[in-house]
């Protein structure tokens, strides 16, 4: 049997025009402006 450990260190999330930089090791989050440059196709 094999086990895989996934350790989150940092990440970026986006919702409703707001970006969130997250540091999982320090358990902190920072709000930052974010403009999505990928336009959904129609």
Among residues 10, 24, 17, the alpha carbon closest in space to that of 32 is found at 17
Instruction: Write out the chain in H/E/C secondary structure.
Output: CCCCCCCCCEEEEEECCEEEEEECCCCEEEEEECCCCCCCCC
pLDDT tens digits along 8-24: 999 998 888 889 999 99
Distance CA 9, CA 11 (A): 7
- Please tell me the predicted confidence (pLDDT) of residue 35: 75
Hey, where are the domains in the chain?
A: 7-37
Q: What residues contact 40, with CB distance under 8 A and at least 6 apart? A: none
Q: What is the pTM (predicted TM-score) of this model?
A: 0.61
């Amino acid at each position: 049997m094999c086990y895989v450990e996934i350790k989150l260190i940092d990440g970026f999330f986006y919702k409703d025009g707001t970006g969130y930089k997250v540091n999982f090791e320090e358990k902190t989050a920072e709000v930052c402006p974010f403009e999505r440059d990928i336009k959904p196709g129609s």
